[in-house]
Chain A
Amino acid sequence: AQSVTQLGSHVSVSEGALVLLRCNYSSSVPPYLFWYVQYPNQGLQLLLKYTSAATLVKGINGFEAEFKKSETSFHLTKPSAHMSDAAEYFCAVSRGTGGFKTIFGAGTRLFVKA
């Protein structure tokens, strides 16, 4: 069965600094991987997804993530943080043995300091 681990429940960066949110997954078959964002008082929305095409995936708002099979990772990055990036970010994996189930990580809350 698949699982997701997000390292760091809270990450704080300065405006303009690099954003790096970590996600590691386990799956016995090639996974589908997603990053969703939840802004305060809003529903979850998709940032980007990997579905076995290009390993470097670009998403909305300048975010990107790289699928690294050897490291079982799908870390989310953005070169320069903006105040509006403050939100909760969730990594998710679907497609695995034991069922067709989407598993979400516990989430990482991103704080952006002025």
Chain B
Amino acid sequence: EAGVAQSPRYKIIEKRQSVAFWCNPISGHATLYWYQQILGQGPKLLIQFQNNGVVDDSQLPKDRFSAERLKGVDSTLKIQPAKLEDSAVYLCASSLAGLSDTQYFGPGTRLTVL
């Protein structure tokens, strides 16, 4: 079974530039999560999708971050414009459906903002 795929693995940009991350979840998984993991901290949930719909985006900085999940499968997370404090690893995870289900994580995208 293929795992959660993410790309790119690494990205270096300058502040005020834009960047986009892509995630392909495990086939059949209805729920998709985007997390931000700053060095030395635990993952922080940015947004959670259930199929096409947003379940929670309360911690997403909506003035600069946006995310979409087209057709309930792939998802894209965008930052525009980036700030220095956005430097982090962005993790995508997927699960079958509910909150008791195991989340399967991708390898993450390490973003450095200079």
Q: Show the binding face of A for B, using Cβ within 8 Å.
A: 4, 9, 32, 34, 36, 42-46, 49, 51, 90, 92, 94-95, 99-107
Contact = CB atoms under 8 A, between A and B. Distances in A.
B107 interface: yes
A42 to B, nearest CB: 8
Nearest to A101: B56
Interface residues of B, number: 24
A100 B99 contact: yes
B45 A101 contact: yes
A103 B43 CA distance: 8
A106 B107 CA distance: 19
Interface of A is mostly: strand
A56 B105 CA distance: 25
Nearest to A43: B105
Given A32-B99, A32-B100, A49-B102, A102 B91 contact: no
Contacts of A95: 99-100
Contacts of A104: 35, 42-44
A44 B45 contact: no
Given A102-B33, A102-B99, A45 B41 contact: no
Interface string B82-102: 000000000101000001101
